[in-house]
Structure 1
């Protein structure tokens, strides 16, 4: 059963690119020159960690202390789009006013990194010699983890200041934003016997994801759901920059920009919160990237979102792409595999799951290439043909505990008799307790297709009894859609 598309209402993610040239036509080879530098000459700011204009540093906490940072320092260099004919020099400075600019553009809520938490040294006299395109010396930012407070997301904008020499400063890459995410110490866990996972999708156009808090195992008080997928961000195409980008509609934007209200309570109970990525009828998706550069650009966009909103991962939903339309390439054999591989490389500790649906052209043919498989890079896959037993065929994923062979549409579930039969088939065939539950609402009682009433907690209890030896209790504290 297909889900309906997201309404296109509001943009929230801005991605910077120097210039994009025309696409190549060899869709099975990876051309790293797909995105070329501008022919105009200007100076921009480059950091030593990545090629983006945002650097995200994640803190590790224990008790009341910040114990480690993913990076405690980085260097910043002046770069030019082509070698300069005469030497230039300049400096970089922090600009606290840009925190508001960033938050407004990205719908985030970062706090200015306090001066006690960093030092910025060697930030003047950065020089680019004649014939060169990068400064030989760099400014050095060092972070002081002792000055960081748990539960705060910090941002430090550093921008190019005065330049001596005849060259313009870039207007869109003259700032590097250093984000420092400090989580709260949290020992809560949803771990249950057997390690099986209950995956919940929530159509945030209709329903509040906080309703996942209503269902807990009766004796242990453990949350029934392990992963909550926010459905969904869209993959759109930017005709000016000639590349795909991530788009949020009004509802998704409201959830992410108010993470303290809608995301943190779930994470505080041990649940993982992920963002589903859904194609959007614009000819682009997961299966038609034509260059390693294009893949990396898209992956960095996604990673930035995961870091900005402190999410626990992503879900790949390869529906509605309409590959080969809108002037876009058809699918190719390598795109999906290399994309998931790159996702895993840049987000090694995040959840990457795959929504397996019959519309997805990537499976199983396009999920394996040159000895690599999608299955070796993802954590779970589950089928989206609701209310029936069907085993996803995902190359490279053989652990049956990570394969969801049954899913239930909670807004229109099948009868409990049919449900119980399907669940028993799942267990008999050894596919464990990894189930996908679609679109939880505020009410426990729902109407079945035959017009009778049923309680969702009864369905959850059947699975919980079978796999965990416990019933599920509904706490009856419904959360309305209030955004």
Structure 2
């Protein structure tokens, strides 16, 4: 196959001439046809190469990176046409390219030192018959020398080391611009430390309130994850199908995730979607396999669309019908809930599945809760990442109710701040969390609750504000005082 390079000036003149003739209303008999001038077309069989990022951006890539952090960029070798043989290209550090760029543009960007780079050891190879190589990773590390508000550049030049490919000089050059932005901090307190979940009543509480709490010495954020409590699973009586994303505050928060959720995720916090039945026959513990599969796929679409980190399942408020609608069991069962949660985990293995130890999913130790898929058995601990025990639980509970679940992912103790007499966390229970369970769920944190808010003390079991109760959590779990920055955020979507 041949490709052709067109000399643009002559082609443009020819195009304008033809356009003028058509616009003038001439018919075919009025046009004097001269022999075609093919001098503007140059035949070539040369394979031309060029560098791009994953989005096919040529020449440059701009990345936002935080102070004193590491990162990477992936580049690809592409070509104008396939060739009969393979070609390979090596990436070289080329600071002279930035000097030329600065001279031409009037900028004064600094090159990131080569000592802070790791270039790919393998060449970019374009196989015979292909027009795109596998990706090559360029890794970088920022130090204290690279400061917020400045831009640093990784200048690279591609060099053909084998094959017949040719690369024009401009296509061999690639500049990666690193815009250094403020490092907002993170919540990573260590793999051996407890994780603190905020189960937030989203009808009247703003997720941004999680940003108000840090540990004094380390500067880490107190909370590790937010559960948006709660969206609902409902049965559409007209179509007989089940749906989520029906809670209006949840929908508003998700549709404005850049404002309410991204700041949390930028600091390493997970954002989990709560799912609770809402007074229809549709529950999380009575879906037949086809219905469960359809609902699991819908949850994946929601998580993908809004960049969510998992799903929290709460088995409450199902109103059973008799007879049961098509696609549903007539009764709730742990086995049906297990089937749904396994399907969700199978579709989203990189996201968390959290079970609220309540209702039909309070005990998942039955044989039917071990899912056999393609001859492989999956215990509840294989498809459930964390369990939240109900606050004030009186019945004996233990991780044994969820075979395969590690003890350090079992939220034995949880606390309800959203009561007139909140059950503040006792030090003795927090010590068990610190030493064994490593998982704590706090429900109902609310800066504006009528009693027991961030700054007011309720009349109840123990005179303590929510901030004081969270300080007890911080001191016991992490050995650090809590810093409350004084900011509280209203639910501004009403």
What TM-score results when the alignment is normalised by the length of structure 1?
0.57
CA pair 361-270 structure 1, distance change in 2 beyond 3 A = closer
Q: Does 1:353 align with 2:359?
A: no
Indicate conservation of the 8 Å contact 2:354/2:387, yes or no.
yes
Deviation at 1:317? 0.9
CA pair 447-340 structure 1, distance change in 2 beyond 3 A = same
Which deviations, in whole Å up to 9, do the C-alpha atoms of 1:43-71 show, x marking residues without a partner?
A: xxxxxxxxxxxxxx9xxx986776499xx
Which deviations, in whole Å up to 9, do the C-alpha atoms of 1:224-282 show, x marking residues without a partner?
A: 00000111110001223322111322211111111111111111121111110111121
CA RMSD of aligned residues (A): 3.4
Alpha-carbon distance between aligned partners in 1 of 2:468 and 2:393, rounded to the nearest angstrom: 15
Alpha-carbon distance between aligned partners in 2 of 1:461 and 1:240, rounded to the nearest angstrom: 50
Structure 2 equivalent of residue 476 of structure 1: 486
Deviation at 1:387? 8.1
Indicate conservation of the 8 Å contact 2:427/2:476, yes or no.
no
CA pair 301-203 structure 1, distance change in 2 beyond 3 A = same
SS in 2 for 1:375: helix
Indicate conservation of the 8 Å contact 2:313/2:354, yes or no.
yes
CA pair 296-308 structure 1, distance change in 2 beyond 3 A = same
CA pair 410-211 structure 1, distance change in 2 beyond 3 A = same
Structure 2 equivalent of residue 309 of structure 1: 306
Which deviations, in whole Å up to 9, do the C-alpha atoms of 1:134-164 show, x marking residues without a partner?
A: xxxxxxxx9x999xxxxxxxxxxxxxxxxxx
Alpha-carbon distance between aligned partners in 2 of 1:480 and 1:268, rounded to the nearest angstrom: 21
Structure 2 equivalent of residue 102 of structure 1: none
Which entry has the higher C-alpha Rg, 1 or 2?
2
Indicate conservation of the 8 Å contact 1:234/1:279, yes or no.
yes
Q: Does 1:298 align with 2:278?
A: no
Q: Does 1:260 align with 2:264?
A: no
SS in 2 for 1:252: helix
Indicate conservation of the 8 Å contact 1:283/1:326, yes or no.
no
CA pair 304-188 structure 1, distance change in 2 beyond 3 A = farther
What TM-score results when the alignment is normalised by the length of structure 2?
0.56
Alpha-carbon distance between aligned partners in 2 of 1:333 and 1:360, rounded to the nearest angstrom: 5
Deviation at 1:446? 4.1
Alpha-carbon distance between aligned partners in 2 of 1:337 and 1:415, rounded to the nearest angstrom: 31
More helix by share: 2
Which of 452, 458, 461 aligns to 1:448? It is 458
Alpha-carbon distance between aligned partners in 2 of 1:211 and 1:300, rounded to the nearest angstrom: 31
**Count of residues in correspondence between the two structures:** 310
CA pair 66-343 structure 1, distance change in 2 beyond 3 A = farther
Alpha-carbon distance between aligned partners in 2 of 1:359 and 1:381, rounded to the nearest angstrom: 14
Mapping of residues 100-249 of structure 1, within 5 Å? 189-193=186-190, 194-249=192-247
Structure 2 equivalent of residue 384 of structure 1: 390
Indicate conservation of the 8 Å contact 1:389/1:406, yes or no.
no
Structure 2: gaps spanning 5 or more residues: 1-54, 56-61, 66-71, 77-131, 137-180, 448-452
Alpha-carbon distance between aligned partners in 1 of 2:345 and 2:182, rounded to the nearest angstrom: 25
Indicate conservation of the 8 Å contact 2:430/2:477, yes or no.
no
SS in 2 for 1:431: helix
Alpha-carbon distance between aligned partners in 2 of 1:244 and 1:68, rounded to the nearest angstrom: 43
Structure 1 equivalent of residue 156 of structure 2: none
- Structure of greater relative contact order (alpha carbons < 8 Å, 6+ residues apart): 1
